Amino acid sequence: MDLRSKKAIISLAAAVLVAGLGCASLKTEGHPWTTHYVGDPDLVWQALHLAMIDLDYDVESENRFEGTIRAVRAGDGQGGAVVLSIDQIMVTNDVNVYVRVAAGPGEPAMSLDQQEKYARDFLALVNGLLYK
CATH code for position 35 = 3.30.530.50
Asked if 5 and 69 sit in the same domain, the reply is no
Q: What is the pTM of this model?
A: 0.73
Region 70-76: mean pLDDT is 88
Domain that residue 54 falls in: 31-130
Contact 101, 110 (CB under 8 A): yes
Asked if 24 and 39 sit in the same domain, the reply is no
Decide if pLDDT at 132 tops 80.
no
Domain count, the chain: 2
Region 66-70: mean pLDDT is 95
Asked if 38 and 18 sit in the same domain, the reply is no
Asked if 23 and 88 sit in the same domain, the reply is no
Asked if 46 and 108 sit in the same domain, the reply is yes
